[in-house]
Amino acid sequence: MKIVSVVGTRPQLIKAAALQPALRARHDEVFVDTGQHWDESMAGAFFSELGLAKPDHALGAGGGSHAGQTAAMLIGLEPILHAERPDAVLVYGDTNSTLAGALAAAKLGIPVAHVEAGLRSFDRRMPEELNRVVADHLATWSFAPTPTAVANLRAEGIERGVVLVGDLMKDLAARVSAEVRDPSVLEAISARLGVALAPGGYLFATIHRQENREPAAMAAWAGILAAAAAADRPVILALHPGTRAAMDRAGVSRGPHVAVVEPLEYRTSLALQLHAAAVVTDSGGVQREAAWLGAPCLVLRSSTEWPELTGTGGQSVLVGLDQERAMAELERLAPRASTMTAARRRAATLSLVSSGAAEAIVNALARLPD
C-alpha cells in the first residue's frame, strides 16, 4: 500500500520513529510534517536523534490559533493527497495535525488509519479530546493502545476496523531504555544544564497544555513546583516555548530552586524521568513513560485519557492544581529519605518489553477491515 503519514509534534515523532522501520519494510510511505512544533528545540532535533526519514513534504504550519493552524494544514495537505494518491492516510494521537490529516483524507474519500484511537478523558473542554473524537469517527482503521480504548470506541458505536495493537511509545522506550539505565548518564546532562543531578536528588517536570497556560493555572502549578523544590532537591522544568512566553507575559515566578530548561531530546527526557525522585507533568506521553520506568508521577490534571495509570494506590496520581494534595502525594510516593535508594533500584531493575504495536499496525494495514 501507499500510505501518507502525517506528523507535526514531538510525541508524534516518537510514535513515528517506533513505526516507520516496520511500515517501510512492508509499505510505501510518504512522510508529511505539518510543522505544528515548528522550531528546532521542539521538534527539529528529534528527526536526527530518532533516525526518522526526512519528510517528503513539510507544511510549515506552526503557530497561530487552533482554527488558523488547522486551516493552514488542510490547505497544505489537500494538494499533496491529490498528487500522491495514497491508499490510506495515517494519523497519530490527538493534535491539530491529527484532525487536519483525518479531515483532509476523509473529504477526498481516502481511508484513514488512526494510531492511539479510543482514548478519552471525557473532558470536551480539551482541544485534544475534540480532535481524537473526530478522528476516531472518520477512521477506517482504529488502532487502540489499550482494552479501555477499545471499550470506549465500542460505547460510541465504533467496532469495524478496531484493532488492539499496544503502544508505539512503549515500543520505542523499550528499544532505547538500556541506553539510559546507568546513573552515569546524569553527569553529561548535569554539565549541559548547569544543575547538579544525582539519582533521586531532583524532580523532573513538563507543563504544556492549553488549560495550564491561563494566568490562574500558571500561578497554581508554579506554586506547586516552588513548594516541591529545594536547594538539595531542585525541579528541572522542561518548558514548552509557548508556556514560557505565557508565564513571562503574566509575570509568574518560577521559584528559586526551579531550573527552567528548553524542551529536551528523547533520551535525555527518559533518563531524567528514570533517575528522578518523581515526575510532575500534564503530558499524556510523559505520564506513560514515567509509568513504564516505574517513576512516581504527579499529574497536574483533573482527568486523563490514560485511566489505567492512575488507579488507587499506584505510582501515578491525578492532583490537578491542588498544592496541598500534590505535596501530600509527593511525600507518599517519594519520601525524601528513600528517593535515592528507590531511584537506583528502579534503574538497576528496569526491563521494558515492546508491546509489538508496530508489527500489529503494519499487518492490519495490509487489507481493508471487513
Active site residues: 208
CB 297 within 8 A of CB 291: yes
Place of cell 509499505: 27
Question: Comparing C-alpha atoms, which of 166, 232, 156 is closest to residue 19?
Answer: 166
CB 341 within 8 A of CB 200: yes
191 exposure class (CB count in 10 Å sphere: 0-12, 13-18, 19+):
exposed
Extract the C-alpha cell encoding 322: 491542588
The contacts of residue 110 (CB under 8 Å, 6+ apart) are 81, 86, 87, 88, 89
Q: How many other CB atoms are found less than 10 A from the CB of residue 65?
A: 9
Question: Comparing C-alpha atoms, which of 119, 67, 73, 71 is closest to residue 93?
Answer: 119
Look at phi and psi of residue 43 and say left if phi exceeds 0, alpha if psi is from -120 to 50, else beta: alpha
Element (H, E) at 138: helix 127-138
CA-only gyration radius of the chain, Å: 20
**b/e code 284-301 from CB counts within 10 Å (16+ = b):** bbbbbbbbbbbbbbbbbb
Extract the C-alpha cell encoding 80: 499533496
Question: Comparing C-alpha atoms, which of 101, 105, 84 is closest to residue 92?
Answer: 101
